[in-house]
Structure 1
Amino acid sequence: MYAMPDLARADGLGIDLSEGGSHVGRGTRNLLAGLGDGAYLEVIGPDPDQPEPDEPRPFGIDELTEPRLVAWAVRVRDIHDVVGRAKTKGYDPGPVLPMSRRRPDGVLLEWQLTPMTAGIMPFLIDWGGTPHPTESLPPGQELVSLTGFHPTPEEVHKGLEALGEHLVVNQGPFGLLAVLRTPNGEVVLR
């Protein structure tokens, strides 16, 4: 998840992005880029065509002054089971919430996820029977690496282990770093 205070500036990223759609009621919309192997980059920001939402936009978008890599997600099947197993191992990913949005071509996408919070720990997403976003994205870009930074990496590793996931986490100030290979060369997102 790459959050921007103004999606009109997304053209300057050097990434081929496709229109995703609006998150009605949340005040956001997204642009997407397929990264191969079922992975994709979501660039999210305020939707000027929506009224101001009742609650703050996710990922601290309302306070952003510069674009920032804010979060990552893990695709799971049977999200309730994954959350239950993680809890028994000492990590609570949070409640499961339903979401939906309509693609520009009119197809309704519906999914379930745990809270979308900025951070080193991923949120979980279960697409169920809805079309996965990568099915309609053109190929051409690739995720080379995703790295986390945290003052105490061992704390992050405990949560990742409870989820059965892996991420290289180095000691340092909080943050994420992604390297993408594009037709225009490598792009680094922080």
Structure 2
Amino acid sequence: MTIDHLVYATPHLDTTVAVLRDQGIPLTAGGPHVGRGTRNFLAGLGGDTYLEVIGPDPEQPDPAEPRSFGIDELTGPRLVTWAARVSGFPDPELLGPIPMSRRRPDGVLLEWELAFPPGGDGLVPFLIDWHDSPHPAETLEHSVRLVSFRCVHPSPEVIAREVGALGQSLRIDRGDRPGLEAELTTRTGSVILR
């Protein structure tokens, strides 16, 4: 499994960032996604993996299309999906690639491409290729560690097959409600994101 980042989406970005910081997660401003109506904050999770907390950007006008990751429909923060890092996109049918970019607060431009599996339930990762762009984890503090990451689904074999078709793997447990769960350790204790 090559986790690039976990996506924790929220309808109230500043509030969610404050709560996570109180739990010991040192989030750094990532920057706005211009034209998409969102901005993010990031925390390193060790190595080249990071947590992205994303929500509406009050400094941008509402976008013409719904915000990514179902943000406009959320009533609270939720671990909505994950990204697997690739170098080039594999053969399975994917939506994309979609070119993206954002400028870090220090002025460095990050550019990447995304490709999404059909269905888009978030349990199967989307793919990200950073090409020659600096990776966001390079400049993040890494005092938080990703201890475990898993998926719960009523039909784990279906999700395992879809994840495997992308060349990835994931712990998938059988459960009534589909969802993702990540356990993080911070300097002050353990945090579970769902």
Normalization by structure 2: what TM-score? 0.90
Q: 1:30 aligns with which of 26, 34, 40?
A: 40
1:118 offset after TM fit, Å? Answer: 4.6
- Alignment partner, residue 11 of structure 2: 5
Render the CA deviation track for 1:76-111: whole Å, top value 9, x for unaligned: 1122xx2x2xx2xxxx33221100000011100000
For residues 66 and 148 of structure 2, the distance between their equivalents in structure 1, rounded to whole angstroms, comes to 30
Q: Does the CA-based 8 Å contact 1:141-1:182 persist in structure 2?
A: yes
Q: 1:176 aligns with which of 165, 176, 180?
A: 180
Task: State the percentage of identical aligned residues.
Answer: 55
For residues 115 and 160 of structure 1, the distance between their equivalents in structure 2, rounded to whole angstroms, comes to 12
Segments of 5+ residues of structure 1 without an aligned counterpart are none
The DSSP-based 3-state class of the residue aligned with 1:149 is: strand
Q: Does the CA-based 8 Å contact 2:124-2:162 persist in structure 1?
A: yes
For residues 63 and 121 of structure 2, the distance between their equivalents in structure 1, rounded to whole angstroms, comes to 19
Equivalent position amino acid for 1:187 in 2: V
Give the RMSD, CA atoms, in angstroms.
Answer: 1.2
- Alignment partner, residue 99 of structure 2: 98
1:20 offset after TM fit, Å? Answer: 0.3
Name the structure with the higher strand share.
Answer: 2
1:34 offset after TM fit, Å? Answer: 0.3
1:163 offset after TM fit, Å? Answer: 1.6
Normalization by structure 1: what TM-score? 0.92
- Alignment partner, residue 115 of structure 2: 114
Segments of 5+ residues of structure 2 without an aligned counterpart are 1-6
Q: 2:143 aligns with which of 127, 133, 140?
A: 140
Equivalent position amino acid for 2:19 in 1: G
Residue 189 (structure 1) aligned with residue 190 (structure 2): no
For residues 78 and 119 of structure 1, the distance between their equivalents in structure 2, rounded to whole angstroms, comes to 21
Name the structure with the higher helix share.
Answer: 1
